Amino acid sequence: MHTLDTLSFDNSYTQLPEHFFQRVKPTPLTDPYLISLNTEVAQWLDLDPCALKPDRLAEIFSGQASLPGADPIAMKYTGHQFGVYNPDLGDGRGVLLGEVINEAGERLDLHLKGAGKTPFSRFGDGRAVLRSSIREYLVSEAMHGLGIPTTRALCLVGSKQLAMRDGGMEPCATVLRVTPCHVRFGHFEYFYYSRRHDDLKILADYCLERYFSDCLEQDNPYLAMLQVIIRRTAKLVAQWQAYGFVHAVLNTDNMSLIGETFDYGPFSFMDTYKPDTISNQNDHKGRYAFSQQPAVVHWNLACLAQTLLTLVDKDALVKALDGYPALYEVAFLEQMRGRLGLAQAEEQDTQLVDDLLQLFTEQAVDMNRFFRRLAEFDGSEASLTKLMELLRNPAAINDWLLRYEHRLQREDQPAAQRAEQMNKINPEFVLRNYMAQEAIRTATDGDFTLVNDLLALLRKPMQPNKQFAYYAESPPDWAGAICLTCSS
C-alpha cells in the first residue's frame, strides 16, 4: 500500500507537445477541511484508507500542498455546446494533477475539480461550489453501484471560501476525480477545427497506445478505435435509458473517449417516467431531454468521426456511424430483458418492452420502484397490489402483466432464481434529486453525516437498508419543485 507521498506517478500526457495543455498549479482554497473519503477509490489507488489523515487530504486536495511526482496541467479542448461549436474551451476549473499507476498496472488520472483559475477559465472564477461538488461526488458512486461506467472520486474537500453564483454567495469545494481517461471528444475537435492535422494524429496515436492498444493490430487502427468508441458509447446511453438517468448537458466536450459518464452537472434520475424530462432548466429547447439522449449521442459521435477524416476513409466512417442505432437498440433491449428477469431472448420482447414504457409514460410510473416490486411479483394478490400502487389507474397494468406472466412461463429458471437475479440489477435506491438536496442542506450547515451515509448507501444500491428504507419510497411532494441549472 502507498501513502499520498509515495504514489507511483508517470505523467504521459505531459510528454505530448506543450500546446496540448498549459502547466498550472491549483490555487489554494482557504481553511479547507475533509468532508468525505471514498475508501474504495483509495484502495483502487493502492492507498491504505486507515493511514490517510484528514488534514493531509484537505491540504493536498484543496491546492495548499502538492503531491510528489504530480505535474499539474489544464488540458486544451473545444467542443459543441448545445449544438454550437465553441473554440474557447479547456479545463477552466479543473487541473489534471497527474497519472498514477497502481499495482494492477492500471493508469489512473487524478483530476482536481474546483482548483481555481486556469488559462481556459475565460470569465469564470475556476471554482466549484459545495452544492455541485456533493452532487458529483455522490452520483459518481451511485452510477458505479448500478454498474454504469463512470468517473469516480477519491474525496470531497470543503472550505470557508465563498464564490458568487446565481443564488448568491456559496461555499467552495473540490472533488478529486479518478478515471483512466480524461480525453474528451472535444480534444479531437480542437485539432480538427484548428487544422492541426499532425497534432490530431499525435493525439490519436497516444489514445490508441494508452486506451485502445488492441486496435493497433487492425488494418486501420483509427477506424477500429472509432468502432470501439461507438460500441461502448451506445451501450452507455442504453444503460442511461434503462435506469431513467438524464445527463442534461451532453455537449461533445462532456463525452468521454472510453465510454464513461463524465462531467456531471444538472443530472437527474427521473422520479416518474416522462420521456420529455428536461433536467437542465437552461436547456430551453429540450435538446438534452431524456428521450433525445440516444440521438444526441449519435450526433456527438458523428462530430468525433468527422475529426478523423484525415486518418480514415469517409465511407468507412459513415458505415461505422450507421451501425450505432442497431448497437444501441440491442444494448437497450439487453438491459431491459435483465431488468424484467428474462434470461432468454425472444423476438416479441421488443414489443413487450415498448408497451411497458408506454404504460410508464401514461401512468407516470416510477420505473426503478416498479422493477424492484416486479421482482417480488408472484401472482399473489399482495404482490399485485404493490405493483398497482405505482399506477394512476391500477387496472391499466392488467393486460401487460398477463402477457408478462405468459412470457415468464417460457423461461427455464425458477421464480425464486429469477427474483434473485432481478434484485441484483434492479436498485432499491437511486440518487434522487431530493436526497442530494438534503445532503447539500445539512452539509451547508456543517453536518456531513448524510453525505457519508448516502455514499455508503448508494455504493450498494441493490441491498435493502432498514435504516434508510424511506429513500426507497415515493419522493416527498417538495421534490418536484427542485430546479437544476448549469450554474455550479
CA dist., res. 355 & res. 411, Å (int) = 20
CA dist., res. 428 & res. 462, Å (int) = 5
Q: Which three cell numbers stand for residue 148?
A: 454504469
User: Would you tell me the crossing angle of helices 367-376 and 324-340 to the nearest 10 degrees?
Assistant: 50
φ/ψ (deg, to 5) at 402: -65, -45
> Is residue 215 classed exposed, middle or buried when 0-12, 13-18 and 19+ CB atoms within 10 A define those classes?
buried
Task: Quote the DSSP letter at residue 475.
Answer: P
Nearest Cα to Cα of residue 451 among 462, 461, 463, 441:
441
**DSSP SS3 for 230:** helix
User: What's the CA dihedral at 240, 241, 247, 249 to 10 degrees?
Assistant: 130
CA dist., res. 406 & res. 418, Å (int) = 15
Of 46, 109, 253, 366, catalytic: 253
Q: Which three cell numbers stand for residue 92?
A: 477552466
Q: How far is CA 383 from CA 339, 386, 392, 435, 471, in A?
A: 17, 5, 17, 27, 20
CA dist., res. 14 & res. 12, Å (int) = 5
CA dist., res. 372 & res. 365, Å (int) = 12
Pairing between β-strand 79-81 and β-strand 268-269 as defined by DSSP bridges: unpaired
| Residue 40 CB coordination number (10 Å) | 14
Report yes or no: 459 and 447 within 8 Å, Cβ to Cβ.
no
Question: Does the annotation count 313 as an active-site position?
Answer: no
Report yes or no: 400 and 444 within 8 Å, Cβ to Cβ.
no
User: What's the CA dihedral at 316, 321, 324, 326 to 10 degrees?
Assistant: -60
Report yes or no: 185 and 303 within 8 Å, Cβ to Cβ.
yes
CA dist., res. 101 & res. 152, Å (int) = 16
CA dist., res. 222 & res. 311, Å (int) = 7
CA dist., res. 384 & res. 481, Å (int) = 31
Compute the Cα dihedral for 152, 155, 156, 157 and give only its sign.
negative
Active site residues: 253
